[in-house]
Amino acid sequence: MYVMEELYDVCTSLGKSIGIEFALVDAKGKAKFRMAIRKDVTLFKYRSQYKEQIIEALTEADENVVLVFTDNLGAQYLAVGTSVENMPYYLIGGPFLSMLITEENQHRIIQENQIPLEDQHYLYEAIKTMKILNLEEYTSIAKIMLWIIRKNHFDAELIYSMSSKVNYDRERPREIEESFTIIDERYRMQNKMMHYVSMGDGETAKKMGGKTVYDFSYRVPGDPMRAMKNQYLTFNTILRIALERVGVTPLSLHQLSDNMAILIEATNSVDQIMSMGNRLIDEYSKLAKRHHTRGLTRNIHNAQRYIDNHLSEKIHLSEIAEEIGVNPSHLSRQFRKETGKTITQFIHSRRVEKAKTLLRLNESSITEVAVKCGFEELNYFSRVFRQNTGCTPMEYQKQHKR
């Protein structure tokens, strides 16, 4: 069967081609991947609790079965089971509607489910903009899902299931937390990408783009080219901010940002606009590299590159000198002359920058961050961090907690 990365591609491809969201969830209902098309957090918290009911309905189903599940709000989902490394997973597509829901029925649904007043407007709007698929259309999608997942030609057997009654007051706190986890993931990935670009590592930054997919076409209905241009104009701004933070001159940033914005607007084909993400990363990474190595000799540039590649390890002057083929004492003097820092000070500053990125992501404990950044003692890490930033790692993490 599939490996996980292949299933991520399946979710992404199905979502982009069909125009509804696809998610891959495990047997506990936890999303492993989500092709995010809709961004309505309110809708998400009211629909995500149905995953457990979908999984239960599919647990004993035959391999040619695709479930058509209708929730309490009248939205529908298609779901099919699969396995990865002998573990069960479920591909779920939706929400969509199979018929237009009148305003009268919308009001009835809202009242029957006792939706709080503060959420009602958002759910009304979500229902109005939901994709409508007739029986023939969603049956065809079900067949495609089954053929792709099973890697075999099955004639899909549709089975139907309705949601059981849901206590929204009980479910809501968990669903709010889960919905914001998706949003947090977007910003964690964005911060990682900004860090790699600001360090001049464009290749690693480009790899980050494929891990989580966000489609903003819903913001400009009926004009996908305008939606994509807006997305890359925003990305252009994000990368400009990333380089501004590491001290790239405003003039250089203005020139690059302005040129890239003009280029984005001048693009008139889908193929060209789709390649714009990598183009932006390449151009900003090149500028970052020039900034970091401006006025440095080859020896010092190579020494800095060695340090950046070994931040999590012990770094000795003799090892750097041996790697680049110079005398250690000469390297030490030359490094301070050109950079204004000793090698130890430079190593500390680079490690602290890496630590700041990890602390902002909030994915590791402070002890784990210290180890990942090459510090063997937590107290020493805290002391160096405070010397470079004016605060402790814990204080910094609290200041930047989302």
**Calpha distance 234→324 (Å, rounded):** 40
**Calpha distance 194→285 (Å, rounded):** 10
**Calpha distance 37→146 (Å, rounded):** 22
DSSP per-residue codes, 315-349: --HHHHHHHHTS-HHHHHHHHHHHHSS-HHHHHHH
Tokens 């000070």 belong to which residue? Answer: 345
SS3 label, residue 26: strand
* Sheet containing 157-162: order of strands: 31-35, 22-26, 87-96, 76-84, 65-70, 157-162
- Report the pLDDT value the prediction gives residue 39, as an integer from 0 to 100: 52
- Report the pLDDT value the prediction gives residue 153, as an integer from 0 to 100: 59
**Calpha distance 329→289 (Å, rounded):** 26
- Report the pLDDT value the prediction gives residue 170, as an integer from 0 to 100: 46
- Report the pLDDT value the prediction gives residue 320, as an integer from 0 to 100: 92
Sequence letter at residue 400: H
- Report the pLDDT value the prediction gives residue 180, as an integer from 0 to 100: 45
Measured in whole angstroms, the distance separating CA 104 from the mean position of its chain's CA atoms is 38
Q: How, if at all, do strands 65-70 and 22-26 pair?
A: unpaired
Low-confidence ranges of the chain (pLDDT < 50): 41-42, 168, 170-181, 210-213
- Report the pLDDT value the prediction gives residue 152, as an integer from 0 to 100: 62
